[in-house]
């Protein structure tokens, strides 16, 4: 700030003395512009540092919440719509077919089977995506999309968030900025081994039902593999 003030004073003095203005103006302006540029860069760097620090704290807080609940009893095995953690792929397929027969899942206009949902203000539909580890179901995701002409992804997400917060009010909740739209929030509902992660992506609202012990073990294995690959790369080069 002192540097800026000194150069600004010099510039004003030069402008008051026209004889010297042309002689020194070309020297003063570059310094002023450079100083302003450095100030903007400093502010940008400070902002980036604050954002990075915020993200780190958020991750640590979420991880602390997971660690505090992951081994609590009793274990919750129900994921969604009768799917249970630990199901084999064959059992999950058989259960899926039963849901189709019982008309819990119906075909949409694209001939995909979806689960019809009705929130307070909007109708929606959810595509179901199971994930397995060692042939056992550990995660099931719902991609929730509008199912009426005047509804938007935004409306569906806000309605889903309100519904989930009400239903899982007895769960521990962690709230963070949504990766797709920072004006909205993403939510983690945690109880014992179950984590429900509600957030947005380009396809719509996403609700992930996760068996945390398995997911955390997979994360550790991935980190170990990544560290090993980095070490090998450093050795090879």
CB burial class (10 A; 0-12, 13-18, 19+) of residue 124? buried
In a domain, 213, yes or no: yes
In a domain, 154, yes or no: yes
Q: Which of 25, 51, 69 is the last residue of a domain?
A: 69
End-to-end Cα spacing for the chain: 47
In a domain, 138, yes or no: yes
**pLDDT at 6 (0 to 100):** 44
Backbone angles phi, psi at 121, to 5 degrees: -120, -5
State the SS3 of 135-201. CEEEEEEEEEEECCCCCCHHHHHHHHHHHHHHHCCCCEEEEEECCCCCCCEEEEEEECCEEEEEEEE
- Taking the chain (237 residues) in runs of 10, the rounded mean pLDDT of each run is 42 42 41 44 49 45 90 92 96 96 93 94 95 96 94 94 96 87 86 96 93 92 72 71
**pLDDT at 96 (0 to 100):** 96
184 and 86, same structural domain? yes
Range of the domain at 42: 1-69
- 78-80 and 194-201: which strand pairing? unpaired
48 and 2, same structural domain? yes
* Cα distances (angstroms) measured from residue 70 to each of 73, 179, 192: 9, 24, 5
In a domain, 232, yes or no: no
99 and 42, same structural domain? no
**pLDDT at 39 (0 to 100):** 52
Cα(145)–Cα(164) distance, rounded to whole angstroms? Answer: 16
Instruction: Give the pTM.
Output: 0.69
In a domain, 233, yes or no: no
107 close to 113: Cβ distance less than 8 angstroms: yes
96 and 64, same structural domain? no
In a domain, 141, yes or no: yes
20 and 119, same structural domain? no
In a domain, 62, yes or no: yes
**pLDDT at 43 (0 to 100):** 52
In the chain, how long is the greatest CA-to-CA distance?
93
Domain total for the chain?
2
Q: Which of 51, 69, 87 is the last residue of a domain?
A: 69
105 and 60, same structural domain? no
* Cα distances (angstroms) measured from residue 144 to each of 3, 127, 175: 56, 7, 20
Q: Which of 50, 69, 88 is the last residue of a domain?
A: 69
**pLDDT at 182 (0 to 100):** 66
54 and 134, same structural domain? no
113 and 14, same structural domain? no
106 and 58, same structural domain? no
**pLDDT at 231 (0 to 100):** 72
138 and 81, same structural domain? yes
118 and 183, same structural domain? yes
60 and 90, same structural domain? no
In a domain, 97, yes or no: yes
């Amino acid at each position: 700030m002192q540097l800026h003030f000194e150069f600004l004073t010099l510039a004003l003095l030069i402008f008051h003395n026209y004889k010297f203005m042309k002689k020194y103006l070309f020297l003063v302006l570059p310094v002023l512009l450079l100083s302003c540029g450095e100030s903007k860069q400093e502010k940008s760097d400070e902002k980036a540092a604050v954002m990075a620090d915020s993200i780190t704290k958020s991750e640590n807080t979420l991880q602390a919440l997971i660690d505090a609940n992951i081994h609590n009893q009793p274990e919750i095995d129900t994921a969604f719509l009768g799917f249970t953690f630990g199901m084999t792929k064959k059992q999950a397929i058989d259960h899926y077919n039963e849901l189709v027969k019982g008309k819990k899942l119906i075909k949409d206009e694209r001939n995909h089977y979806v689960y019809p949902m009705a929130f307070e203000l909007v109708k929606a539909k959810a595509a179901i995506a199971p994930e397995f580890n060692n042939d056992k179901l550990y995660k099931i995701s719902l991609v929730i999309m509008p199912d009426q002409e005047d509804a938007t992804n935004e409306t569906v997400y806000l309605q889903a968030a309100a519904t989930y917060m009400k239903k899982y009010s007895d769960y521990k909740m962690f709230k963070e900025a949504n990766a797709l739209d920072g004006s909205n929030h993403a939510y983690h509902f945690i109880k014992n081994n179950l984590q429900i992660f509600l957030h947005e992506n380009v396809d719509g609202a996403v609700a992930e039902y996760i068996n945390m012990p398995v997911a955390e073990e997979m994360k550790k294995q991935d980190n170990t593999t990544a560290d090993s690959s980095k070490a090998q790369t450093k050795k090879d080069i």
